[in-house]
Structure 1
Amino acid sequence: MTIRLGDSAPDFTAHSTKGDIHFHEYLGDSWGILFSHPADFTPVCTTELGMVAALQDEFEERNVKVIGLSANGLSEHDQWIKDINEVNNVNLQFPIIADGDRNVSTLYDMLDSQDPTNVDLEGVPYTVRSVFIIDPAKTVRLIMTYPASTGRNFDEILRVIDSIQLGDKHSITTPANWKKGEDVIVHPDISTTEAKRMFKDVRVIKPYLRLTNPPM
């Protein structure tokens, strides 16, 4: 199954460190981030999950629920969380799906089809580092895939959430390397005349590129 931007995020039920997860029910009216890990007790994943735990307040501030996934069982997850908390000095509270059977990984096309060494002892592929940002309507808004060897930048994931959420509220887009609080771009569908009625300050760089202060 191939998932594209704008698709409905597939629903599923899975075991997790916080009990059985009914994905759409778990998300409720919140935004969601689903992100996968190749295996427990691996170095890059340990740093990633620690970072997400450290950023928990940032995600909650944006009404985002995070849920991790790793291709191991619950007993391994529970032991691994102790390591994650110790190594990163955090208190990991979000659920981690136990996907030893790869059901969710297959549903979301997270399995590694390129690296022949990224397999378990039975030769079954592990996941790559996939990220899905899902809005409250259960629509997929971002898909990001890293190789197993490279840890993700979760500051970038927060930045994208800020951009999408701001764009959903106002007729704007965001430029390259934009950060929360910086100037934004007037949406191309909005005329300059209309933009000047909507925003306090509109600076015309080109007819198709108009900047304005970030809406509140």
Structure 2
Amino acid sequence: MPGLLLGDEAPNFEADTTYGRIRFHDFLGDSWGILFSHPRDFTPVCTTELGRAAKLAPEFSKRNVKMIALSIDSVQDHLAWCKDINAYNGNEPTEKLPFPIIADANRELSVQLGMLDPDERDKDGLPLTARVVFIFGPDKKLKLSVLYPATTGRNFDEILRVVDSLQLTAYKKVATPVDWKPDTSVMVIPSLPDDEAKKLFPAGIFTKELPSGKKYLRYTPHPK
């Protein structure tokens, strides 16, 4: 099945959305982007996910990230569904969310991007879209891909966390360790010589040495 691998450039597809017709690269512009798919409109898990995404939209915007969703239903269905999502969030049941939803009723885009879940099918026996998360950089290349089955809802706080990691490591010679959170210690990449590390991180780095003889350099961006 076609799909995207890390480092692949996003296809510059055209699609109808709740915000009108878009061309994907034009939509992204020079921003980061998140494309996330949903099995079906009006389903309860999808409603909770889009509700959470809508609440977090200001946080993604602060990070220069544009969000766009996809579901295998029509624009008109999407607009009606937006009312439910806004009402679920306790807001006025309007037809717009802070981001567009792509209509993919014929599943062409879902197939192209490798989004279909073979184990979850509609009443006609056709596969539904899985819960895919694609994060693209400003260069339009895929930086992260997460694939959830249709039965498992996503954690959008985690998606926000990985955006922070991706953006930090894109511009700094560091990597984020297990359970990392913003403003906590990061790992200096092993390929960086110690003398260069000291120049890049003048506030200081600390070393953890292990029985193997390996050592790990850590840097705290904002020491308490």
- TM more than 0.5: yes
Which digits, 9 at most, give the CA deviation of each residue in 1:11-35, with x for residues without a partner? 2001100001110110000000000
User: What is the letter of the counterpart of residue 109 of structure 2?
Assistant: V
Runs of 4+ aligned residues of structure 1 deviating over 6 Å after TM superposition are: none
- What is the CA-CA distance between 1:89 and the residue it aligns to? 2.4
The equivalent position to 2:108 in structure 1, one of 89, 98, 103, is 103
Identity of aligned residues (%): 50
Instruction: From 212, 215, 218, give the equivalent of 1:211.
Output: 218
Unaligned runs of 5+ in 2: none
Helix, strand or coil at the partner of 1:56: helix
TM-score, normalisation: structure 2: 0.91
- Distance in structure 2 (CA, Å) of the matches to 1:130 and 1:215: 34
- Residues 70-110 of structure 1 show CA distances to partners (whole Å, capped at 9, x for unaligned) of 11111111111000000112572210001111111111100
1:172 paired residue number: 174
1:89 alignment partner in structure 2: 90
Q: 1:181 aligns with which of 183, 195, 198?
A: 183
Q: Which amino acid aligns with 2:160?
A: L
* Separation (CA, whole Å) in 2 of partners of 1:70 and 1:2: 17
In structure 1, what is the Cα distance between the partners aligned to 2:136 and 2:204? 32
Output the aligned Cα RMSD.
1.4
Contact 2:3/2:115 (CA < 8 Å) preserved in 1?
Answer: no
SS at match of 1:112: strand
Q: How far apart are 1:37 and its partner, in Å? A: 0.3
Further displaced range: 83-92 or 104-113: 83-92
Other structure's SS at 1:20 match: strand
Query: d(CA) in 1 for partners of 2:98 and 2:220?
Result: 36
Inter-partner Cα distance in structure 2 for 1:189 and 1:96 = 42
Name whichever of 43-52 and 205-214 sits farther off.
205-214
Deviations 1:24-81 (A, max 9, x none): 1100000000000000010000000000000011000000000000111111111110
The residue that corresponds to 2:204 in the other structure is 201
For residue 184 of structure 1, what is the amino acid of its counterpart? V
Contact 1:170 1:215 in 2 (8 A): no
Q: Does 1:147 align with 2:130?
A: no
Contact 1:203–1:210 (8 Å) recurs in 2: yes
Matched with 2:54 is 53
For 1:188 and 1:63, locate their aligned partners in 2 and report how far apart those are by CA, in whole Å.
29
How many residues are aligned here?
Answer: 213
Distance across 2 between alignment mates of 1:84 and 1:158: 20
